[in-house]
Structure 1
Amino acid sequence: MTPQGVTIKHPDRLFIGGEWVAPAAGGTIEIVNPASEEVVARTAAAGPADMDHAVAAARQAFDHGPWPTTPPAERGAALNRMIDILEARVPELAAAWTAQVGGLASFAPMMHGGAVAQLRGIAAMGESFAWVSQKKGQVVDTAVIVREPVGVVVGIAPWNAPFGIMANKVFYALIAGCPIIMKPSPETPLEAYIIAEAAEAAGLPAGTVNLVPAEREAADHLIHSPDIDKVTFTGSSAAGMHIASVCGGKMTRCTMELGGKSAAIIRDDFPIEAAAGILGNTITVMSGQVCAMLSRAIVPRARHDELAEAIAGVMKGIRIGAPEDAETQLGPLAMKRQLERVEMYIEEGRKGGADLVTGGQRPAHMNKGYYIEPTLFANVDNQSRIAQEEIFGPVLCLIPAEDEEDAIRIANESNFGLNGSVLTSDPQAAYDISRRIRTGVMGQNGMRMEFGMPFGGFKQSGMGREGGEEGLWPYLETKTILLDGAPARV
């Protein structure tokens, strides 16, 4: 069973070792559409035995298969064949996203088309990256620096942007020469099925790409395997810290792209109406379910009330509706438990002394689905839960600051450090302030995203980077070979 517009050949099976196989225990995952609250898809669910099967297949592919020793340029050519297949399936990827998490149908084609196009840059690294380099040594004649694949990779992706995040992990692993085991979120497995079908159609060797959708218990069994070499995870900081602790216990390499509570600093030179437009419309992107979301706005105290009123005006004009409606600006949250989480934080904000300026309720005209109004809290204490914890919904905290120094202090007063912004007409001021914020990405005038550049976080927002050449490094091991003379070939 799959949603309308999405064709999966074997939704009741797993992809392991180049074959579509039934789960050992016959498990099933049900996917609920958050707008209709109806089951729209069912897929196989892997259990512990299936995880062991996938690890063995990937281990075989790495230890004895051709992929790790295939020249990088040839790996890139195979990945471009996969991309050609995925480009033709962008409408399916878009439909799957809307059906599974309520993403806006008006945005879905652009989002997924862009994600597929971005993969070309990763495939091109097969020819552009310096896989081997030579230099003269001080105590030896020649040092050869070799970048080799790290080994068997487990890729774990979240439910908010399941295709782009998983595909990024898959393509970096593959261009590096690593087999990968895909473990998508149980809320959004369909995109990973499409990736697996593309790998099969492109003729990748058996075991190079494997797919095991699963719930938490089986996924935990997978990351505990001694036969995996690296885990790449995107998701919550709590889950990431657990996975990192497991990896640390056996020195399994890992990269973590985790949560955020990113701050936007509004300078005195930036117009109130422009700031309100940016902040009020940004918080509704993907229903606020973005790890890099600008969810804290820090404004000079003298401008606080004016900005609060202006943001409220923007939020009240946001059109809430069905994700299939081209006029909708804010769709549902992805699942019932996410709605309950957001409602809990809204109640915390009320009890914690912040001013609820607008929102905070389920829309009166939507009698079905996991909807919540865009919500603004003003006069927020930066030490409060709503300012310190990731809500992952359309809830914005407006925090007054005494001056620019105080704003920088407040921005850094967080356990997270993923993203941030400076709203100013002065690029030099944006740069200078950005250098003082402990966060992985900073942008001028909004939630700026540049997917070909390094992305990742400081502090509890993770470790390692995705995107650009830096995104390839965690999938490689560096080997230094010291020689008495230059080799004839490398």
Structure 2
Amino acid sequence: MITYDQLFIGGEWTEPSGPDLLDLVSPHDRSLLGRAAQALPADVDRAVAAARAAFDEGTWPRTPPADRIAVLRRLNTLREERADDVAAIISAENGSALWFTRAGQAGLTRQADAYLKAAGEFGWEETLAPSDPGAPFRSVVRREAIGVVAAIIPWNSPFSAALAKLIPALLAGNTVVLKVSPENSLSMNLLAGLLAETGLPRGVVSVLPADRETSEHLVKHPDVDKVAFTGSTRAGRRIASLAGEQLKRVSLELGGKSAAVILPDADLGAAIQGLKFGSLLNNGEACIAQTRILAPRSRYDEVVAGLKEMVESLQVGDPADEKTFIGPMVRPDQQQRVRDYISLGVEEGARLVTGGAQVPAGLEPGNYVTPTLFADVSNTMRIAQEEIFGPVLVVIAYDDEDDAVRIANESEYGLSGGVWSADEDHALAVARRLRTGTVTINGAPIGFDGPFGGFKASGVGREYGAVGLTQYIEYQTVTV
């Protein structure tokens, strides 16, 4: 059992303001994994004060970009050296299958490398020639840090979400208070330990496990200059409202209900195998999961039959078992939420092809859900419009390509999506018509050099690469 009885505030392990430790239990069998201190508003105040002092008076914002890059490269190296430990602890905390958490380690390296490359090529200061060659002045454009960043992340993919914000914020010279979910207290304290080894100056980073009330205290703190949030659309709206009152900078990576458009000429075997990963990754607890499957009427029964076979083939069980594809939901309330949506789908008149609201036999002690497939779904049904965040897929029929695009776009969300076709150029043409921030064609992985984020209620701003780096800078123009 792991115990963290201190909080990582300003780069140092310190006593928390409250004496109580939170019990962290396994979503697989409810066994005790560890205990960890949780931050209270007083701890947030200490962390923000340390970050404020480090930004206003410390060396980090004034450290040359090349030196900041070297520190963040070291963080990436330290994380790679502990990759197996990171994967194992996230699986234990979240119930994420080990295949997913292990595969995610390579993704974390690519994510970091893209940020580091962008920072190395970034024009931190450049002189612009006047549009009138005879003008007796020039403009110097400077890109500098915003200040104190409050980075708030969800539980479902903690390392990815944390580093997507920490790395660009620190590369730009900001100081950061990272607020993490209580469920991830063990893995995020492991991250704090890695940060302590990087050589970051005192005060630059804090890592605080905390509840929603403490998170709101952080968002409203007058010494926070920017809020970077990943989580639900509902919470994002609340954060945007609070940040707007103080005109804080804000970026939001929110929910999704992404559509996978299977065109009539698609290789169905490849599409269904690809959707196994694109739709059911991380137990379906993923904002980018393509859980609305749009199938042409001419091949609808074939698509449903193929998906049924795939879903029923998935091994559900202990996330530490290398053969497991679907593990438990993170908490009992999340398990119940997904089961309630399955019951709702039946009530709405969708055809339950496989699965159901029952808990898989033999797995009753854990937070398990039976992987479920619905057919004959209307896009107006709640199971087609609302983010379920579990292993539940719906198949929607379309008449022609225009109908498929219409259905895909008839959603409040616009985070991700996919197109499957034997003709890549045609698939690209369809992708251009989808109102969503990221589209994958024939199961291609999401790249980290390009921007990631959502249209509509899926967010504000972008992450990854050079565009993600710009979310953490202010522009200053000096005319000489």
1:46-195 aligned within 5 A: 46-137=39-130, 138=132, 140-195=136-191
- Measure, in 1, the Cα distance between the counterparts of 2:105 and 2:25: 21
CA distance in 1, matches of 2:283, 2:399: 31
Aligned-partner residue type, residue 285 of structure 2:
Q
1:411-450 matches, within 5 Å, as 411-446=408-443, 448-450=445-447
* Corresponding residue for residue 477 of structure 1: 474
Q: Is the 8 A contact 2:118 2:465 kept in 1?
A: no
Distance (Å, rounded) in 2 between the aligned partners of 1:206 and 1:314: 51
Deviation at 1:330, TM superposition (A): 1.4
| Offset of residue 117 of structure 1 | 5.0
**TM-score (structure 2 length as normaliser):** 0.96
Q: Counterpart of 2:283?
A: 287
- Paired with 1:119 and 1:57, the residues of 2 have a C-alpha distance of 26
Partner in structure 2 of residue 5 of structure 1: none
Whole-angstrom distance in 1 between the partners of 2:222 and 2:444: 39
TM-superposed deviation, 1:280? 4.2
Distance 2:268 2:224 in 1: 52
Can you give the 5+ residue segments of structure 2 that lack an aligned partner in the other structure?
A: none
Matched, 1:395 2:392: yes
Q: Retained in 2: the 8 A contact 1:154–1:182?
A: yes
Query: How many Å separate the matches in 2 of 1:239 and 1:272?
Result: 37
1:34 maps to a residue whose letter is P
- The answer to whether the 8 Å contact 2:99/2:325 transfers is no
Conserved 8 A contact 1:112-1:163: no
Q: 1:382 aligns with which of 379, 382, 395?
A: 379
Distance 1:446 1:123 in 2: 26
* Residue type of the alignment partner of 1:285: L
| Residue aligned with 2:120, SS | helix
Cα 1:256–1:447 shift into 2, 3 Å: farther
Asked if structure 1 preserves the Cα contact closer than 8 Å seen for 2:267 and 2:422, the reply is no
Residues 1:237 and 2:233 aligned together: yes
Q: Distance in 2 between the 1:27 and 1:473 partners?
A: 39
For the 8 Å contact 1:27–1:47, the answer to whether it is kept is no
RMSD: 1.6
Change in CA separation of 1:401 and 1:100 when aligned onto 2, cut-off 3 Å: same
SS state at 1:203 partner: coil
CA drift of 1:149 comes to: 0.2
Q: State the Cα distance separating 1:135 from its structure 2 match.
A: 1.3
Gaps of 5+ in 1: 3-7, 484-490
Q: Is the 8 A contact 2:100 2:281 kept in 1?
A: no
The one-letter amino acid paired with 1:320 is V
Distance, in Å, in 1 between the alignment partners of 2:465 and 2:353 is 41
What letter matches 2:171 in structure 1? I
Instruction: Say which SS state the counterpart of residue 94 (structure 1) adopts.
Output: helix
| Greater alpha carbon shift after TM alignment, 149-158 vs 103-112 | 103-112
Task: Give the corresponding residue for 2:22.
Answer: 29
Alpha-carbon offset, residue 121 of structure 1: 3.3
SS where residue 374 of structure 2 aligns?
strand
Q: CA deviation at 1:17?
A: 2.5
- Partner letter of residue 147 of structure 2? G
- Name the CA shift for 1:245/1:447 in 2 (closer, same or farther; >3 Å): farther
TM-score (norm 1): 0.94
- Correspondence 1:298 to 2:290: no
